[in-house]
């Protein structure tokens, strides 16, 4: 199958009704990194109760081009009107959600116009934009900042997520405690249980709590300025869920809340269970508590009588995790498996408008597809043919579904779907993030591994590649490892490379999800075996094409992809260059310093009691075999793969005389998130590849 990129289905309009992309030279905005980082990026999707309005967050560069700032835009669900901008402020707005009265709620750190001169720097608050337009107003504030919101679909009751310190009984005490720590110059945190970090965040002393705000007051222009809305802490003993958890969900009448909460799993482990909380009394009980699984992503049925959630079986030394959907009767606690025997991993479930079915997402053969399964039993039906879907929203009258769709030839775009039709190819709605033509074409390719297993890949082929003009090949290995290449990526954008003449191969080797449980099992605990040989099979198959140059190749990846880049460097010298970002190098040291060691130890075992998998799969043990030039990239605030991995790798390369460079980001994490650093990341990678793959002179990025 071959996919050729097409412009999104929208028409350019004036600057404040759509963010149109001007005409560009060959390669379009991807040929210029300054133009690339300035492209608008669509995230998040909200649907109004009457299904007549959609809202999205759109990230664009601030005037100084130093950060991306989000604004809210309205998209026409019928696809007839051009998008229009709803909000504008220097701090930006995000996390849109509609209330039952049609007002649009969002979070923002914009200043309150009614605040006094001594208010200090504003924290993120919850704001409300009236349904019929006008100025937004702050409606919920907290000294710890508002980090999320859930709204009851029927009553309009609101619960917010905000950080709170231990022992603070109300917002006033919270503010006093924070000020006391600041005035005393105290930054220390006392931990009494594991973990202490998560991704790029130091946990504690505050933790996310859920606060009941109730129904938001209507704006009364004749009334005196309102006092701060009193908040009631529903989770005073909150402990952050393992893996960060998902947003909680209110029942339609606002009387109950479902949430993932953390419980111990062994001396230093965690797992999640789903709890049901009475919002009036604060009383909580476990709704689904499985000692052999993480349970999360719970959502209520339209009548509030049932909950659907994801059960993720805990992994072990011999078995990877497995996922299914559970239907839970709230009154009786009766649990039914909705997807028994379904050989994919369901996620993000929610009920249909009439409660007779559940929609969910799952990776499937290089796509992130939308499925529908009847509540009373039956096989899941795949509703989408191509693309990767997220932010699913169900119209309350059952007339339509809405989601963001992306693919490697399409950035996230709002689409409208039929609630029941299988294998749909919906047209994109007019979007403020539309792109023009891409500098190449996207192709789906397959290879056969040594054991006969099919290995699926995406191949980005640059314009002009032919038997007379061979394109150099970049192998990009995805992270995870329990994921797959299936959706647009701004961080790993192959079109930046294609605009410079490279072909990019994006394979899904063993351990990738979306190809069945056995496909994951093939690489479980043996990262250096089937995942590696699958990648080499994918490269061999791609290089059979007459338009690719087998003599000019490179390999790169981040996180697990960085591990594989390191492993490839120790196993073969077929590539001219290796780029390894946020990579695992010494599995033994990684286990003791990562933010969730208990997760990885399930797969690899205790390094002291059973070191076999560490010895067989850790790249650092084979460092003497590296001959290929290596570019090492790492951020100091990466707690998932700590900086020590890069430091060990860099020292090992340097003392062995391997041609190598180290791009270090003191203030970035597992990803590179600021426009300036992202630009430097691409500049350095492109210069390193040009030197070793294209035989050009090394060009040091100007700002380095």
354-398 pLDDT, tens digit each: 999 999 999 999 999 999 999 998 999 999 999 999 999 999 999
Contacts of 101 (CB under 8 A, 6+ apart): 131, 156
- How far apart are the C-alpha atoms of 370 and 621, rounded to whole Å? 43
Beta bridge partners of 78: none
- How far apart are the C-alpha atoms of 404 and 423, rounded to whole Å? 16
Per the listing, tokens 């979007």 go with 431
CATH number attached to the domain at 441-592+624-692: 3.40.50.1820
Distance of CA 297 to the CA centre of its chain: 15
Strands (DSSP E) found in 532-582: 548-558, 577-581
- How far apart are the C-alpha atoms of 244 and 199, rounded to whole Å? 10
Distance of CA 217 to the CA centre of its chain: 34
- How far apart are the C-alpha atoms of 76 and 71, rounded to whole Å? 17
Residue 227 is predicted with a pLDDT of 65
As a whole number of Å, the end-to-end CA separation of the chain is: 42
Residue 688 is predicted with a pLDDT of 98
- How far apart are the C-alpha atoms of 29 and 45, rounded to whole Å? 25
- How far apart are the C-alpha atoms of 39 and 34, rounded to whole Å? 9
Q: Are strands 270-278 and 284-288 parallel, antiparallel or unpaired?
A: antiparallel
- How far apart are the C-alpha atoms of 650 and 658, rounded to whole Å? 10
Which residues, given as ranges, of the chain have pLDDT below 70?
1-26, 116-120, 220-227, 240-246
What are the extents of the domains in the chain? 441-592+624-692
Residue 117 is predicted with a pLDDT of 66
Residue 121 is predicted with a pLDDT of 77
Phi, psi at residue 659, to the nearest 5°?
-55, 120
Prior bond of 193 cis (ω within 30°): no
Q: Are 186 and 177 in contact (CB under 8 A)?
A: no
Per the listing, tokens 């059979």 go with 544
Prior bond of 205 cis (ω within 30°): yes
Output the pTM of the full model: 0.93
Residue 507 is predicted with a pLDDT of 98
- How far apart are the C-alpha atoms of 99 and 45, rounded to whole Å? 14
pLDDT tens-digit profile of 56-104? 999 999 999 999 999 999 999 999 999 999 999 999 999 999 999 999 9
Residue 116 is predicted with a pLDDT of 65
Q: Considering only CA atoms, which of 459, 348, 308 is closest in space to residue 2?
A: 459
Backbone dihedral region of 33: left (phi > 0), alpha (psi from -120 to 50 degrees) or beta? alpha
Distance of CA 107 to the CA centre of its chain: 19
């Amino acid at each position: 199958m071959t996919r050729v990129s097409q412009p999104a289905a929208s028409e350019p309009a004036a600057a404040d009704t759509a963010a149109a992309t001007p005409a560009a030279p060959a390669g379009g905005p991807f040929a210029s990194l300054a133009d690339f980082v300035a492209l608008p990026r669509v995230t998040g999707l909200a649907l109004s109760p009457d299904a007549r309005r959609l809202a999205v967050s759109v990230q664009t560069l601030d005037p100084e081009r130093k950060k991306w700032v989000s604004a809210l835009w309205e998209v026409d669900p019928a696809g007839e009107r051009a998008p229009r901008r709803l909000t504008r402020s220097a701090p930006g707005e995000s996390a849109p959600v509609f209330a039952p009265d049609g007002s649009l709620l969002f979070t923002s750190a914009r200043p309150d116009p009614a605040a006094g001169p001594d208010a200090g720097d504003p924290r993120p608050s919850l704001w409300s934009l009236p349904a019929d337009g006008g100025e937004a107003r702050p409606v919920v504030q907290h000294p710890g900042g508002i980090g999320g919101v859930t709204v009851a679909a029927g009553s309009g009751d609101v619960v917010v997520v905000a950080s709170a310190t231990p022992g603070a009984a109300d917002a006033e005490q919270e503010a006093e405690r924070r000020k006391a720590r600041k005035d005393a110059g105290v930054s220390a945190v006392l931990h009494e249980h594991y973990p202490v970090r998560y991704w790029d965040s130091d946990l504690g002393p505050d933790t996310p709590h859920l606060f009941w705000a109730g129904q938001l007051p209507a704006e009364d222009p004749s009334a005196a300025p309102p006092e701060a809305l009193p908040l009631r802490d529903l989770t005073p003993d909150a402990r952050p869920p393992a893996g960060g958890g998902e947003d909680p969900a209110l029942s339609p009448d606002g009387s109950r809340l479902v949430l993932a909460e953390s419980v111990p799993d062994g001396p230093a482990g965690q797992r999640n269970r789903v709890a049901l909380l009475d919002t009036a009394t604060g009383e909580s009980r476990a709704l689904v508590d499985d000692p052999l699984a993480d349970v999360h992503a719970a959502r209520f049925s339209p009548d509030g009588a049932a909950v659907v959630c994801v059960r993720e079986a805990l992994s072990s030394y011999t078995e990877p995790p497995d996922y299914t959907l559970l239907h839970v009767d709230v009154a009786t606690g009766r649990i039914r498996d909705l997807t028994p025997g379904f050989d994919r991993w369901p996620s993000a479930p929610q009920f249909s408008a009439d409660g007779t079915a559940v929609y969910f997402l799952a990776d499937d053969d290089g796509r992130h597809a939308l499925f529908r399964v009847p509540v009373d039993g039956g096989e899941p039906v795949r509703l989408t043919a191509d693309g990767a879907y997220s932010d699913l929203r169900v119209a309350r009258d059952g007339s339509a579904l809405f989601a963001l769709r992306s693919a490697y030839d399409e950035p996230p775009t709002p689409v409208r779907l039929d609630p029941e039709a299988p294998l749909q190819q919906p047209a994109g709605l007019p979007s403020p993030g539309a792109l023009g033509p891409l500098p190449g074409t996207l192709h789906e390719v397959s290879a056969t591994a040594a054991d006969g297993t099919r290995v699926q890949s995406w191949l980005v082929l640059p314009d002009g590649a032919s038997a007379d003009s061979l394109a150099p090949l970049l192998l990009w290995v995805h992270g995870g490892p329990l994921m797959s290449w299936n959706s647009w990526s701004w961080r790993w954008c192959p079109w930046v490379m294609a605009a410079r003449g490279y072909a990019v191969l994006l394979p899904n080797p063993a351990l990738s999800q979306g190809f069945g449980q056995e496909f994951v099992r093939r690489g479980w605990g043996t990262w250096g075996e089937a995942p590696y040989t699958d990648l080499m099979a994918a490269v061999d198959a791609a290089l059979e094409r007459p338009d690719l140059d087998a003599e000019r190749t490179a390999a790169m990846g981040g996180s697990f992809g960085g591990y594989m880049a390191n492993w490839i460097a120790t196993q073969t010298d077929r590539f001219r260059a290796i780029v390894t970002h946020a990579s695992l190098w010494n599995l033994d040291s990684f286990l003791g310093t990562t933010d969730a060691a208990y997760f990885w130890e399930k797969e690899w075992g205790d390094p002291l009691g059973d070191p076999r998998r560490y010895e067989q799969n850790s790249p650092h043990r084979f460092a003497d075999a590296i001959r290929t030039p290596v570019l090492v990239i790492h951020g100091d605030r990466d707690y998932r793969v700590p900086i020590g991995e890069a430091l060990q790798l860099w020292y090992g390369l340097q003392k062995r005389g391997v041609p190598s460079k180290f791009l270090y980001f003191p203030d970035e994490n597992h990803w590179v998130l600021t426009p300036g650093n992202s630009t430097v990341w691409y500049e350095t990678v492109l210069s390193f590849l040009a030197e070793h793959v294209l035989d050009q002179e090394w060009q040091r990025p100007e700002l380095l």
